[in-house]
Chains A and B, each alone.
Chain A
Amino acid sequence: MRQWWSKLRAWMTGRTEIDNDLAEEVRSHVELETANLMERGMSPEAARAAAGRHFGNTTAVAEHARDAWSFAAIESLLKDVRYGFRAMRRSPAFSLVVILTFALGVGVNAAIFSVVNTVLLKPLPYPDSERLVVLSEANAKSDFSVTWGNFNYWRAGNHSFDDMAAFQFFGGTLTGRGDPVTTQGMAVTAPYYALFGLRPLMGRLLGAQDDRVGAPATIVLTHQFWTSRLGGDPHIVGSTLLLNGNPYEVAGVTAPLWMPWFRVDYYVSLGRISAKWTSRQQHASIRGLARLKTGVTLAAARADLDAIMRRLDEVDPGTEKDHHSHGEFLTEHTVGGLRSTMQVLMGAAVLILLIACANVASLLLARNTARASELALRKAIGAGQLRLIRQLLTENVAIAVAGGLVGVLFAFCALRLLVGIAPTTIPRLAETHVDLQVLAFASAITLAAGLLAGLAPVLAAGRIDLSTALKEGARLAGSGKGRQSMRSLLVVAEVAITLVLAFGSALLLRSLAAAQNSDPGFDSGRLLTFSLDLPGKEYSSPEAVRQFYGSLTDSLRHLPGVTAVGAVHCPPPMGDCGDWFYSVPGRPDPPRDQVPLALFNWADPGYFQMMGIPIRQGREFSNTDRPDGRKVVVINESVAHRWWPNESAIGHQLKFGGPYQKGDLLEIVGVVADVRQFGLDEKPEVEVYQPWAAANEMDGSVAILIRTAGEPSQSMPAVRASVAALDRNLPLQRFGTMDAALGSGLARRRFTTLLLALFAGLAMLLAAVGIYGLLNYWVTSREPEIAVRLALGASPGRILRWTSFHALRLAMVGVAIGAVGGWFAVRLLSDLVFGIPAHSPATLAAAAGAVLAIAFLAAAVPSWRAARVNAAHRLHQG
Chain B
Amino acid sequence: MEFLQGTLEVLILRSLQAGANHAYGIGQFLEQQSGNEFVVDNGSLYPALQRLLQREWVTAQWKVSPKARRARYYRLTPLGRKQLIEEQSKWQRFVEAMSRVLTPEG
Residues of A within 8 A of B (CB): 2-3, 6-7, 21-22, 24-26, 28-29, 31-33, 35, 55-57, 60-62, 64-69
Q: Which of A7, A32, A56 has the most CB of B within 10 A?
A: A32
Closest 3 CB pairs of A and B: A65-B46, A68-B50, A6-B54
With contacts A22-B46, A65-B46 taken as known, whether A28 is within 8 angstroms of B71 at the C-beta atoms is yes
Could you give 21 example pairs across A and B, Cβ below 8 Å?
A2-B54, A3-B51, A6-B54, A7-B54, A22-B46, A25-B22, A25-B23, A26-B46, A28-B24, A28-B69, A28-B71, A29-B22, A29-B23, A29-B24, A32-B22, A32-B24, A56-B43, A57-B43, A61-B43, A66-B50, A69-B54
Complex interface: chain A residues within 8 A of B23 (CB): 25, 29
Complex interface: chain A residues within 8 A of B41 (CB): 56
With contacts A32-B24, A64-B47, A68-B54 taken as known, whether A25 is within 8 angstroms of B72 at the C-beta atoms is yes
For B79, give the chain A residue with the smallest CB separation: A2
The answer to whether A32 and B65 touch across the interface, beta carbons within 8 angstroms, is yes
Whether B67 sits at the interface, judged by CB under 8 Å, is yes
> Within the complex, what minimum Cβ distance (angstroms) separates B92 from chain A?
25
Q: Which of B42, B43, B51, B70 has the most CB of A within 10 A?
A: B42
The answer to whether B55 and A32 touch across the interface, beta carbons within 8 angstroms, is no
Complex interface: chain B residues within 8 A of A29 (CB): 22-24, 42, 71
For the complex, give the distance between the alpha carbons of A35 and B28 in Å.
14
Whether B37 sits at the interface, judged by CB under 8 Å, is no
For the complex, give the distance between the alpha carbons of A65 and B43 in Å.
8
Whether B16 sits at the interface, judged by CB under 8 Å, is no
For A68, give the chain B residue with the smallest CB separation: B50
The answer to whether A62 and B46 touch across the interface, beta carbons within 8 angstroms, is yes
With contacts A2-B55, A32-B71, A61-B42 taken as known, whether A68 is within 8 angstroms of B47 at the C-beta atoms is yes
Q: Which of B50, B51, B55 has the most CB of A within 10 A?
A: B50
For B23, give the chain A residue with the smallest CB separation: A29
Residues of B within 8 A of A (CB): 22-25, 41-43, 46-47, 49-51, 53-56, 60, 65, 67, 69-72
Partner pick for A64 among B24, B46, B65, CB 8 A cutoff:
B46
For the complex, give the distance between the alpha carbons of A2 and B72 in Å.
23
Complex interface: chain A residues within 8 A of B49 (CB): 65
Complex interface: chain B residues within 8 A of A55 (CB): 42
The answer to whether A2 and B46 touch across the interface, beta carbons within 8 angstroms, is no
The answer to whether A6 and B24 touch across the interface, beta carbons within 8 angstroms, is no
* Extra pairs beyond A6-B54, A25-B23, A61-B43 (4, CB < 8 Å): A29-B24, A29-B42, A56-B41, A68-B47
The answer to whether B70 and A28 touch across the interface, beta carbons within 8 angstroms, is yes
For B41, give the chain A residue with the smallest CB separation: A56
For the complex, give the distance between the alpha carbons of A538 and B96 in Å.
113
For the complex, give the distance between the alpha carbons of A60 and B67 in Å.
28
For A18, give the chain B residue with the smallest CB separation: B50
For the complex, give the distance between the alpha carbons of A68 and B51 in Å.
7
> Within the complex, what minimum Cβ distance (angstroms) separates B15 from chain A?
15
For the complex, give the distance between the alpha carbons of A32 and B50 in Å.
20
The answer to whether B53 and A32 touch across the interface, beta carbons within 8 angstroms, is no
With contacts A29-B24, A32-B22, A33-B24 taken as known, whether A64 is within 8 angstroms of B43 at the C-beta atoms is yes
With contacts A29-B22, A32-B65 taken as known, whether A60 is within 8 angstroms of B54 at the C-beta atoms is no
Complex interface: chain B residues within 8 A of A32 (CB): 22, 24-25, 65, 69, 71
Complex interface: chain A residues within 8 A of B71 (CB): 25, 28-29, 32
The answer to whether B47 and A65 touch across the interface, beta carbons within 8 angstroms, is yes
> Within the complex, what minimum Cβ distance (angstroms) separates A674 from chain B?
83
> Within the complex, what minimum Cβ distance (angstroms) separates B57 from chain A?
10
Complex interface: chain A residues within 8 A of B65 (CB): 32
Complex interface: chain A residues within 8 A of B72 (CB): 21, 24-25, 28
For the complex, give the distance between the alpha carbons of A288 and B49 in Å.
74
Complex interface: chain B residues within 8 A of A67 (CB): 47
The answer to whether B22 and A28 touch across the interface, beta carbons within 8 angstroms, is yes
